[in-house]
Structure 1
Amino acid sequence: MKLDAVTTEYRGHARDLGRHAAQSQDIELVVALGGDGTVNEVVNGLLHDGPDPGRLPRLAVVPGGSTNVFARALGLPNDAVEATGALLDALREGRERTVGLGLTSGTPGSEDESVPSRWFTFNAGLGFDAGVVGRVEQQRERGKKSTHALYVRQVVRQLLGEPHRRHGTISLERDGEELASDLVLSIVSNTAPWTFLGNRPMYASPKASFDTGLDVFGLSRLSTASVARYGTQLLTSSPERGPRGRHAVSLHDLTEFTLHSKVPLPLQMDGDHLGLRTSVTFTGVRRALRVIV
């Protein structure tokens, strides 16, 4: 194969490169070496004009970040050299998979109506978890290294500063029907696991899959007792069993729904903090992109 290597130089550069590849007539494969944020940019570039798996270049991911959820969810090793070997074997053998992705957009009639659409590969969140992501990004901008210990510290700080921990402001609606309300935390999953703590997978929505629509896990209370209960359940979760309880909401295989909030809340996608929103519409798009596995 003929390989052109390009180093990204600014935020959004990987998206621009992905868009160029999608519009090119002679690029068959895009390899993203980096973390989940880099992969997200590449995917948004490839799908700038919408999904078309038969026409668009295929995507391969070499993990180069701190967590690499998307690559690991595809079954790739978390080591860059080992993953490269696995991808080369897959290319020789012609192994690929067409995966579904999540798409967010501004909700018609809301103040966020004009917000551009954006794709995500493994998860998104409105509320508490997005606030944690924002805190981690602030620490990284100050020179702190992105580690799992840093995430744990920011979870504690976000919890202590959460003004709506006992009565949330988020509601989930589908086709005009309210499926859940008063949520403090809302995690949208496109695959399982939700994330990793070191080498430990954590399953917020164990049934989530690249082959189905989107899953939602929500919590309506984050009291000290609730955090201890659901935190322990997440740490001990498995592909067969996720968090459960009277303050938990679990929904599976949704095609389209909207999260509304009474107050502006932080939004994250694939671990990237995207600012404050009051309303976000989510769509699960099946068979959106071909990936090498």
Structure 2
Amino acid sequence: MRALLVVNPRATTTTERSRDVLVRALSSAVKLSVAYTERRGHATTLARDAAESGVDVVVTLGGDGTVNEAVNGLLTTSAALADRPGPIADRLPALAVVPGGSTNVFARALGMPGDWADGTSVILDGLRDGRHRVIGLGRADDRYFTFTAGIGWDAATIRRVEQARRRGRTSTPGLYLRSTVSQFFLGMDRADPPLTLERPGETPATELSTVIVQNTAPWTYLGDRPVHLNPDASFELGLDVAALRRLTIPGSARTVTQLAWRAGDPRGKQVLRLHDITEFTVMASRPQAFQLDGDYLGERQKVHFVSVPSALRVIC
């Protein structure tokens, strides 16, 4: 069995020594090649080239951004795009994820241990036993995501966090909470909600301030605490949506409190929730911040979302 290990050398929870240990462990089970990412988007190219060359497994060591890039590499190979019968997952290499980032939402949603060494043990057992899980993905226009996408407040918050990290700040739950509050009071036009959500055959939902899409639960984590916007979201179902209407101070304070202290599941007349959706489009009257799997991707005025079932085999 051939495998490629895609390493983000900036992964926050691993060291050069731990990476060497990981390489030796994986080499005991597969014929392993190792590649290091050099820039943003590089993991996409590495995973795509590996799939085209016939690799059986792509292993990532990094955070959710590295995983997202690798998944997009796999899902844009000629095999994935070919018009063949059967699930896409059967045509592609399997994915294995070693948690190495600060949050690792995707790995934790799969039930993987948070520690890279324990996660490696699970992967080795799965390789030896031939064990894997088939999951669905989300697609936003032409890019896939594993657990979440967002337009509006949450994406603008991620933009603030990324700006702070470039200034040398450490990614912590406190930084995310402070960025969320700062964005609400200083960065949002709360009087004029810009978003509309359209579904085939349904009345459009208008005057939305932010739209968050989930492909699984939880939405994210605050430290060790899972945060649930749509607790019934699942890799085996379509997409779930949580949208906030007008961002009034009392309503938004209630929602943030529910997320921060009760681990989520917010409700109220300002919250729109949709479960197990196959396809929809979000449009904005002015450019809005956009994120996929916790990475800020610039601003958009229209994004088309699709659920992609049985898209990927994951060793877990």
TM-score, scaled to structure 2? 0.85
In structure 2, relative to structure 1, the CA distance for the partners of 1:157 and 1:236 (3 Å cut) is closer
1:173, 1:179 within 8 Å by CA — same for their partners in 2? Answer: yes
- Determine if contact 2:136/2:312 at 8 Å carries over to the other structure: yes
Partner of 1:146: 171
Specify whether residues 182 and 125 from structure 1 end up closer, same or farther in structure 2 by C-alpha distance, changes over 3 A only: same
- Which residue matches 1:200? 225
Do the aligned residues in 2 keep the contact of 1:237 with 1:243 (CA within 8 Å)? Answer: no
Q: Which among 126, 135, 138 is matched to residue 90 of structure 1?
A: 126
TM-aligned CA deviation for residue 67 of structure 1: 0.5
Q: Which of the residues 3, 22, 31 maps onto 1:2?
A: 31
Which of 47, 50, 62 is the equivalent residue of 2:75? Answer: 47
- Alpha carbons 1:184, 1:222 under 8 Å: kept: yes
Residue 181 of structure 2 aligns to a residue whose secondary structure is helix
Listed one character per residue, the Cα deviations across residues 195-252 of structure 1 (whole Å, up to 9, x for unaligned) are 00000000011111000010000111222211221112223556xx811101000000
- Deviation at residue 33 of structure 1 after TM alignment: 0.4
Task: Give the equivalent residue in structure 1 for 2:311.
Answer: 288
Find the aligned partners of 2:32 and 2:262 in 1 and give their Cα distance. Answer: 41
- Contact 2:153 2:188 (C-alpha < 8 Å) held by counterparts: no
Alignment correspondent of 1:23: 52
For residue 197 of structure 2, give the secondary structure of its aligned residue in structure 1. strand
Note closer, same or farther for the CA distance 1:264–1:101 as it changes in structure 2 (3 Å cut): same
d(CA) in 1 for partners of 2:260 and 2:180?
14
Query: Where in structure 2 are the equivalents of 1:244-259 lying within 5 Å?
Result: 244-259=267-282
Equivalences, count: 279
User: Any gaps of 5 or more consecutive residues in structure 1?
Assistant: 106-116
Aligned-residue offset at 1:162: 3.4
The answer to whether the aligner puts 1:81 opposite 2:110 as a matched pair is no
Counterpart residue type for residue 111 of structure 2: G
Displacement over 4 Å in runs of 4+? none
Amino acid at match of 1:81: A
Cα separation, 2, equivalents of 1:147 and 1:7 = 25
Q: Deviations over 1:70-95 (max 9, x none)?
A: 00000001111111111112222222
- Greater share of helix residues, 1 or 2? 2
Q: Which runs of 5+ in 2 are unaligned?
A: 1-29, 82-87
1:110 aligns with none
Note the 1:50-129 alignment, pairs <5 A.
Answer: 50=80, 52-105=88-141, 117-129=142-154
- 8 A Cα contact 1:172 1:178, kept in partner: no
Greater Cα shift, 84-93 or 55-64 = 84-93
Taking the aligned partners of 2:262 and 2:181, their CA distance within structure 1 comes to 20
CA–CA distance in structure 1, aligned partners of residues 230 and 100 of structure 2: 25
Give SS of 1:75's match. Answer: coil
- The residue number in structure 1 matching 2:186 is 161
Looking at structure 2, the residues matched to 178 and 16 of structure 1 have their Cα atoms a distance apart, in angstroms, of: 40
Q: What is the CA-CA distance between 1:172 and the residue it aligns to?
A: 0.5
- Give distance in 2, aligned partners of 1:12 and 1:205: 29
Distance change in 2, residues 1:237/1:208 (3 Å) = farther
C-alpha separation in 1, matches of 2:179 and 2:37: 28
Percent sequence identity over matched residues? 53
Residue 307 of structure 2: SS of its match in structure 1?
strand
Q: Deviations over 1:92-127 (max 9, x none)?
A: 22220110000011xxxxxxxxxxx10000000000
With 188-197 and 47-56 compared, the bigger mean Cα shift is at 47-56
Residue 180 (structure 1) aligned with residue 216 (structure 2): no
Q: TM-score, normalised by structure 1?
A: 0.92
Equivalent position SS for 2:91: coil
1:225 aligns with 2:254: no
